[in-house]
A and B are shown apart, each in its own frame.
Chain A
């Protein structure tokens, strides 16, 4: 009845000789060479680095756009640019910072660090990882290509309809925006699923869920939020694209559609998006705090529960972005209460971190500088957030520069400050060299000063009535002095970022060599070389406590018996991380790139013709077949050269 199956493979070779082991691992995990090799890379450290570098480039571009806006607004009726260009620039700035910098940056840091931190050799789905990066890159290039050709989107980063609809935004500008969203969300979803499964199934033996580093928890919560938030914006952007391209009426009130439906769908994604950016930063902050206070973070359980509950509550308060749309009374009260509720877990986390500071001995290195600044900056943003979440107050400051001030305090304070702390902290791991201290201090102080000088005055401008997204204002409004101050602050921030760039390039060449663990840190990534080898760890580690390296016994066991002549990793159980089975991961391949390009052809071509669906669909089927087609069976094993 049933056909016979091939016999199971030989038991894998177990080698106790370390030099042999290393040789085998190096041969097995070595990336391919040349351009083709570069394009077919699937290792998580390499993909993570590409995400980080690309996102940083977009951060610089978004920053340049911010400077242009600040220049334009530095005085009344300035003519640096006209309204058409200005509207493109602020839309580009918002879209870049949210979709091309913040989310991919956090994703990249997670993809780089999580597999190392949980002690495995690669992410669970290496090819999906590569696919995610290529789609993200295509999305970014599409947006900036459009901008350079003067078809940059100009309806704001949340593209409210009907303004963004076919009638009031003819041309291709908003289409490019909508497709960019689709690309980056695809990438975000690919990364999120990858991180979830990697965390669930590839943790080192002994790293039960309640021993996971807080950073890993943060990435896990963030990834779950991505899974449930990003479909909303994909549904929204697809509907918008269809309204514009094939004449559907989702948002056309005249034909039964509804303009507010867009806002609901967008903010159902858009509010969680803020936490998607900010929760990973909390993870970085927790990592840094433990190492530089030389103690565990106070209240592991409350901090984890806070992150999880922020993740849940984050989905229940999107309507506070729509308080001015004239909601029924009940909705106002409910969403005010929900918005305020999120202050509780955020507060608990802040209190736990402050307790950590008080319970430890502060080692005042640069990563800690950024974390300490976070407390002042982020809490300011959080408190204005409470104001904005309160219906009656939001009724006043909504859509003024007060809001601009608020979300820059939250996002720069809550995400960029910890991110820069993380940069100073993990740079040695990623590059093998320390970032310079002196330049680092200049970088920190100028950034802190410039940031507050830029954004604090905006609170007052909002209260003076200055709307957001205006390309100019009349002299009689009296908004000039504070605007000028803000522009001066922006220039100082630009100087600061320049110092950071100088520091990075200088340190890459001349920086002090870091060694495996320059900070005496607790997480597993510091147990391997800096930068980590292509197989991450010579021996997969085991864990016996929350702070893996601090709590490791002198003779902490290592995992043996995972084949080193194939890309094999250990799969462990979800809750207790007990060894379950060994799985082989795929190696370098060009298929993810082809699939990403097919996706690109489809979504870019549909901007111009519905045939894009057909052409793209066929290309996708072909490339996906290539992706899923099984590798040829193994031939005879070749032994590597004898180690000398």
Chain B
């Protein structure tokens, strides 16, 4: 779409792009056209008002305290000393201009109302019965994703990293386990709140493969800032492969180190909050870790997934993401090494 020069300059000049305008799916594309219209209107109106103000400033200077003020003819004092009458012809002219501007305002507002309604209708038309249903549950401060399937054994539970197939409509069912959160991926969707006790829906569709960052947009407590997630849009084949892989239980560790790590996980405090399918750990307070090593981030997008950060997170999550719900653990170095090896094996 036509990108205005200033926007281009800012995109290239300042590092991050104006992601909201960088539509990667039909929904945001629609919204983008409405945005362009409003941006254009705003630019014209602002320019006109500022020019009118500057025009008056340049052409109508020269007042002073000494200048006799002008008021309506009928209220000019009888002696005529305090004020003189305004020029009625000029007032009439100005009245016509003001009336015209008010009329234009009404027309513009009407255009915006219609454009808004038609955008809403267009978005509604994008809804599809074949959409892939994904449940999104907000937690303080991480995201639970459940890729739904008519077959209950094929419901996929993961956290903080969502894969979607390119070209297929996805419907997100949003809910929260605790406080209000809000879901937005600027390139792919509009925004919707996750409210406890209420189910909201949001549609998205990616037209091209890519990796997008999303995060929580409703202030949700101490770590609102670090409640991020990743959306990976990939070809339907890749998506199916990902889905099938994620549906499998975690591989049983074979190396002794990893086996010991699994013991640490199951016997230590980890299993009180986290689940790893196929091991008996089934708690749902924290993110599901069945395939944690397949994700690119840790701690809801706060850290990259690698051994160093993983170790730091386990030992000292409170200094990396202060106030989060994961308690600090003290593990003997050997146990920690084993746990790290095990977790890294959960591809």
Contacts and interface: CB of A to CB of B under 8 A. Distances in A.
Interface of A: 82-84, 87, 154-156, 160, 162-163, 168, 253-254, 258-260, 290, 292-296, 298-299, 302, 324-326, 329, 332-333, 336-337, 340-341, 343-344, 347-348, 350-352, 354-355, 357-364, 372, 375-376, 379-380, 383-384, 386-387, 390-393, 395-400, 460, 462-465, 467-474, 477-482, 518-520, 522, 544-547, 549-554
Most buried by B among A294, A299, A341, A379: A294
B322 A84 contact: yes
Given A344-B106, A463-B19, A481-B14, A163 B180 contact: yes
Contact of B117 (A333, A364, A386): A333
A379 B186 CA distance: 26
Given A84-B323, A299-B95, A343-B109, A160 B31 contact: no
Contacts of B216: 467
Max chain A Cβ within 10 angstroms of own Cβ: one of B75, B81, B178: B75
Contacts of B3: none
B220 interface: yes
B259 interface: no
B70 A296 contact: yes
26 contacts: A155-B219, A162-B196, A163-B179, A253-B197, A259-B197, A295-B69, A295-B70, A302-B98, A326-B192, A333-B116, A343-B105, A344-B109, A348-B98, A355-B98, A357-B56, A361-B63, A363-B65, A383-B46, A464-B17, A469-B225, A477-B16, A544-B77, A546-B71, A551-B77, A553-B78, A554-B79
B182 A393 contact: no
B15 A550 contact: no
Interface in B167-219: 174, 178-180, 182, 184, 186, 190-193, 195-198, 200-201, 213, 215-219
Given A354-B53, A387-B42, A550-B83, A396 B20 contact: yes
Interface string B52-78: 110111001111111111111001111
Contacts of A325: 193, 195, 200
Contact of B94 (A87, A358, A478): A358
A632 to B, nearest CB: 46
A393 B119 CA distance: 10
B194 to A, nearest CB: 10
B123 A392 contact: yes
B97 interface: yes
Contacts of A326: 174, 192-193, 195, 198, 200-201
B231 interface: no
Nearest to B79: A554
A501 B198 CA distance: 51
Nearest to A517: B65
A520 B19 CA distance: 53
B39 to A, nearest CB: 8
Contact of B71 (A336, A347, A357, A547): A547
Contacts of A481: 14-15
Contact of A387 (B19, B38, B60, B215): B38
A558 B98 CA distance: 38
B243 to A, nearest CB: 27
Contact of B31 (A375, A393, A471, A480): A393
B75 A351 contact: no
Interface residues of B, number: 101
Contacts of B193: 324-326
A469 B69 contact: no
Contacts of A463: 18-21, 186
Interface of B is mostly: mixed
B31 A392 contact: yes
B224 interface: yes
A337 B106 CA distance: 11
B120 interface: yes
A388 to B, nearest CB: 10
Nearest to A519: B65
B225 A392 contact: no
Nearest to A462: B20
B50 interface: yes
Contacts of A462: 20
B14 A460 contact: yes
A380 B197 CA distance: 38
A319 B66 CA distance: 50
Most buried by B among A354, A372, A472: A354
Given A360-B60, A554-B79, 14 more contacts: A155-B219, A294-B69, A326-B192, A344-B106, A358-B56, A359-B90, A362-B56, A387-B42, A392-B116, A392-B190, A463-B19, A463-B21, A464-B16, A544-B75
A549 to B, nearest CB: 7
B126 interface: no
Given A520-B65, A547-B69, A465 B186 contact: yes
B116 A390 contact: yes
A449 B57 CA distance: 19
A468 B123 CA distance: 26
B199 to A, nearest CB: 8
B239 interface: no
A108 B113 CA distance: 39
Contact of B191 (A296, A383, A395, A546): A395
Contacts of B50: 375-376, 379
Contact of B225 (A83, A361, A380): A83
Nearest to B28: A396
Given A398-B191, A460-B14, A359 B86 contact: yes
A156 B72 CA distance: 49
B77 A391 contact: no
Contact of A295 (B41, B71, B196): B71
Nearest to A296: B71
B45 interface: yes
B255 interface: no
Given A295-B86, A396-B35, A400-B217, A550 B57 contact: no
A471 B180 CA distance: 18
Nearest to B67: A294
A384 B63 CA distance: 34
B31 A395 contact: yes
Contact of B196 (A259, A293, A400): A259
Contacts of B116: 333, 336, 390-393
Contacts of A395: 31, 190-192
B221 interface: yes
Given A362-B57, A363-B65, A351 B98 contact: yes
B236 interface: no
B49 A379 contact: yes
Interface centre among A296, A363, A395 (most CB of B within 10 A): A395
A361 B61 contact: yes
A397 B105 contact: no
B10 interface: yes
B63 A551 contact: no
B15 A478 contact: yes
B327 interface: no
A380 B46 contact: yes
A547 B64 CA distance: 17
B240 interface: no
Contacts of B224: 467, 469-470
B328 interface: no
B16 A479 contact: yes
B155 interface: no
B180 A546 contact: no
Given A355-B94, A551-B75, A333 B222 contact: no
A445 to B, nearest CB: 15
B101 A390 contact: no
Contact of A551 (B71, B112, B197): B71
Interface in B132-186: 140, 174, 178-180, 182, 184, 186
Nearest to B17: A464
Contacts of B119: 392
B279 interface: no
Given A160-B218, A160-B219, A471 B225 contact: yes
A479 B215 CA distance: 15
